[in-house]
Amino acid sequence: MNHKTESDSIQIKPCDELDVCGNTYRIIRLLGHGKGGYSYLAEKDSLFYVLKQIHHEPCDYYAFGDKFEAECADYRRLKDAGIRIPEMILADKENERIVKEYIEGNTVFDLVLNDQPLERYLPQIREMAEKARSADLNIDYFPTNFIVHDDLLWYVDYECNTYMEEWNFQNWGSRYWSRTSEFEEYIKEHKKEIRFVLASAEDASTFSGLRRVVWSTTYRDIYPDEVIDHYDYPGHIQKDMDRIGNIHYHVYLIKEGDLPIGYFYFEHLFGLHIQSLYVLKEYQKKGIGKKVFDFIRQYCKENDLDHFTCECNQHNRNARQFYEHMGGINIKENIGHENKREDQITYSFKI
């Protein structure tokens, strides 16, 4: 029986707090939307989890029974088969929410897209496929469902079905684990535009959630742990709202399709200064930063500006390399502080 849940009537937003079996999880950002539910990156006690909210949206190509029970049953079948999957932490029948272990890393899809070698992972997927076949199961071998973490391959979806030879790895999944014609056709059909969307006040919580993730993945050895682990969500949301409402600030979300993947904002008062440019780790080195700089350079031309500036933490080597690749000239250093967070380099960029 399907139940009407919060996901059918209320949009879950970044920084919302959701109850799962009496435990409170704070939503950080949307990870994805599948035929069975919405998956979110969530936080509890300074640790990240995946929180899945079952939905009851219609699906033209798949017939469902009880989605929640099916998810739990599939998890048990995969565990019994010996498939490497994230641990299920909690399952809340009443709210139709599942909390599972968060596995950080690149998807196999991204590795294929970026022409990264997969040789070391092919024995692992073949071993998984054999374990699944022995248990009379097929898993969804599409490469977005697999993440590499510490050189181990994880199947991060819980979906599985009764084994059918036509849908096994060799006959179907392997077609998408390299730059085959099928993979290229999928990219062509599903390519999502990178958009810069002028922010409104209701986006402030999205900015805060994105910043929390970037600080954890990029600034862990630069910012004090307590600043990251005890992140001040209300304080950051208020600061973002203030920036969005300031006429001298230009504040943009970076979206892939409808999914927020980063942000940037700059101040234009006496000159133009980029205050912040954050892109989630899994979307870096894909040309998005260059698109931001092209956008800002065009703004400068339209406003008769011959240069702009930005600051970068001295210890963020990847960011420094990017700014220097974009033509940044080091014009000022304020370094040597006991707190590495305060060590800043100012770059200037000609138009």
| Cα torsion 290, 296, 302, 305: sign | negative
Cα separation values, 42 from 36, 169, 201, Å: 18, 31, 22
What the block records as the tokens of 55 is 């939905």
What the block records as the tokens of 185 is 């056709």
- Only one residue has tokens 């992972």, namely 121
- Residue-wise pLDDT tens digits, 57-108: 766 655 567 899 999 999 999 999 999 999 999 999 999 999 999 999 999 9
Q: Quick check: 7 pLDDT over 60?
A: no
What pLDDT band is residue 5 in, cutting at 50, 70 and 90?
A: very low
Cα separation values, 63 from 1, 36, 59, 273, Å: 13, 11, 7, 53
Q: Which of 3, 172, 196 is nearest to 95 (CA)?
A: 3
Residue 307's beta-bridge partner residues? 350
Q: Which of 172, 107, 118, 192 is nearest to 145 (CA)?
A: 107
Q: What is the pLDDT of residue 95?
A: 95
Rounded to the nearest 10°, the torsion over CA 236, 237, 239, 243 is 130
What pLDDT band is residue 10 in, cutting at 50, 70 and 90?
A: very low
